[in-house]
Structure 1
């Protein structure tokens, strides 16, 4: 006869998994980067702190057999005490297509953001960028998230979900693009869109002084038109405001003369 008098029988030991996913961190804090820590802090702010800790051992001992992330949902297979693994799902509200159009334009305006993401770093100011668009990069409330598991535990998160959350946080450490993919835009699609938005525009002529645009034209900025003669450097410089331009010689961008564009400005300054 058992001496146990509780409301449920003691938890059975989980079946050990060969080759399961394990956390790199063996003790102490799990998240290494600010964005991964932020994700854990968000979950803890929803009152999950104590329940998350239940899955830490599962995450460190390899009980999670697989973890896959796709648009708005993460699915993990976690081995418990039964022969069949449990399926744990963590869902988040994805941004709409209209939201992503605004996000992509804002990111394209800040080239350093894309550069940092490509270097494996989430820009520290990116939460402010999302806030300026009326959005939050990380879930702002439990209404933006959903969690469920096929195990019989009624608590959310159960230890299987908690283990998946820790492994998800560590995957964000390795690749910050996964946070954006979770919200609805994969790495390649996002980078392709940013490349399109930052594509060089055709050169234009300013209305006031006739100067051609210099953006995206550095490769031809110093190109000299072969047909125009270069002034003799031994000749004395004439005493007029734009004489220095004659010393420089003709400069052109895509067939438009920089020298001719600057000449009216020099004359106005010299007048």
Structure 2
């Protein structure tokens, strides 16, 4: 007689306690991440292959089971309501960069104001990932080994559904504010922008401009006429030879569908060219 499977293996998962006013993601179906940068964190989660816990984590995130969530340098801390009366404490950790590392990043960002402008517009420029890589750093975690994950629930699997729920909420937070990705690496929005402003202003003294006469010293002579007779010596502006035709009233008839003025215009221009050639011959 074979041993019977313990009853708790077949038991359906218990429902979590309802939460009022919890944090929930807006998407009710489909992919959670809407931008490429938030998708990076979801890729890490899905690469761990935890199967059904991901689906239950999405359900928790959409049901608003997360009571609160805080992003700070190096960590995401949250409380998620499960089946027990006491909410579970969830923490996701990521290595922060030190002062020297961030100084190199800020210098590279300050050299092109487009990065800060794009971030302020609510977007994460794809080139920023290559910028970090070029400095020997990583903006996003490469996998589960780059993250520390902990939950106070009794589930031994990592990540559990409570951690998965926080990941999904975090992805939506990143969608709305890409600065939080940088906060997780150790630089909050205000500090980063202040440091970028300082670096852009510390470019050294500007070269001295050539000395110019103050405008106030030039006002007395500004409207003074030039030498007497100078204006009379200026040649009159050239007049097109067919300008007279533009002053004539319109003829009441056409010649074979053409306006009389248009038929006369080539002759007037030819006469003008002849006159110009005669003047040049006399000047010689």
TM range (shorter): 0.7 to 0.9
Measured after TM superposition, the shift of residue 140 of structure 1 is: 1.9
Q: Which residue of 2 aligns with 1:25?
A: 27
Do the aligned partners of residues 49 and 100 (structure 1) sit closer, same or farther apart at CA in structure 2, a change above 3 Å counting?
farther
Measured after TM superposition, the shift of residue 226 of structure 1 is: 3.4
Q: Which residue of 2 aligns with 1:225?
A: 214
Alpha-carbon separation, structure 2, partners of 1:48 and 1:137: 24
CA contact (8 A) 2:41 2:167 kept: no
How big is each residue's C-alpha offset from its partner over 1:65-91, in whole Å with a ceiling of 9 and x where there is no partner? 111111111111111111110011111
When normalised by structure 1's length, the TM-score is: 0.73
- Are positions 1:110 and 2:112 aligned together? yes
Alpha-carbon separation, structure 1, partners of 2:50 and 2:128: 25
CA contact (8 A) 1:95 1:184 kept: yes
Which of 194, 197, 206 is the matching residue for 1:195? 197
Measured after TM superposition, the shift of residue 142 of structure 1 is: 2.7
Measured after TM superposition, the shift of residue 96 of structure 1 is: 1.4
Q: Secondary structure at the match of 1:191?
A: helix
Do the aligned partners of residues 178 and 224 (structure 1) sit closer, same or farther apart at CA in structure 2, a change above 3 Å counting?
farther
Alpha-carbon separation, structure 2, partners of 1:102 and 1:6: 55
Alpha-carbon separation, structure 1, partners of 2:51 and 2:187: 29
Alignment of 1:119-130 (within 5 A): 119-130=121-132
Unaligned runs of 5+ in 1: 206-211, 214-220, 237-271
Q: Which residue of 2 aligns with 1:99?
A: 101
CA contact (8 A) 2:45 2:164 kept: no
Q: Secondary structure at the match of 1:68?
A: strand
Alpha-carbon separation, structure 1, partners of 2:6 and 2:213: 92
Alpha-carbon separation, structure 2, partners of 1:117 and 1:134: 22
CA contact (8 A) 2:182 2:188 kept: yes
Bigger Cα displacement from structure 2, 224-233 vs 102-111: 224-233
Q: Secondary structure at the match of 1:198?
A: helix
Alpha-carbon separation, structure 1, partners of 2:115 and 2:50: 31
When normalised by structure 2's length, the TM-score is: 0.70
Alpha-carbon separation, structure 2, partners of 1:224 and 1:118: 42
Q: Which residue of 2 aligns with 1:43?
A: 45
Do the aligned partners of residues 35 and 12 (structure 1) sit closer, same or farther apart at CA in structure 2, a change above 3 Å counting?
same
Unaligned runs of 5+ in 2: 231-284
Measured after TM superposition, the shift of residue 154 of structure 1 is: 0.7
Do the aligned partners of residues 166 and 15 (structure 1) sit closer, same or farther apart at CA in structure 2, a change above 3 Å counting?
same
How big is each residue's C-alpha offset from its partner over 1:97-149, in whole Å with a ceiling of 9 and x where there is no partner? 11100000011011000001111111121101111101111012333210010
Alpha-carbon separation, structure 1, partners of 2:206 and 2:213: 17
Structure (1 or 2) with the larger CA radius of gyration:
2
How many residue pairs get aligned? The number is: 220
Alignment of 1:159-198 (within 5 A): 159-198=161-200
- Are positions 1:64 and 2:66 aligned together? yes
CA contact (8 A) 1:42 1:138 kept: no
- Are positions 1:132 and 2:134 aligned together? yes
Alpha-carbon separation, structure 2, partners of 1:53 and 1:100: 37
Query: What's the RMSD between the two structures over aligned residues?
Result: 2.6
Measured after TM superposition, the shift of residue 227 of structure 1 is: 7.0
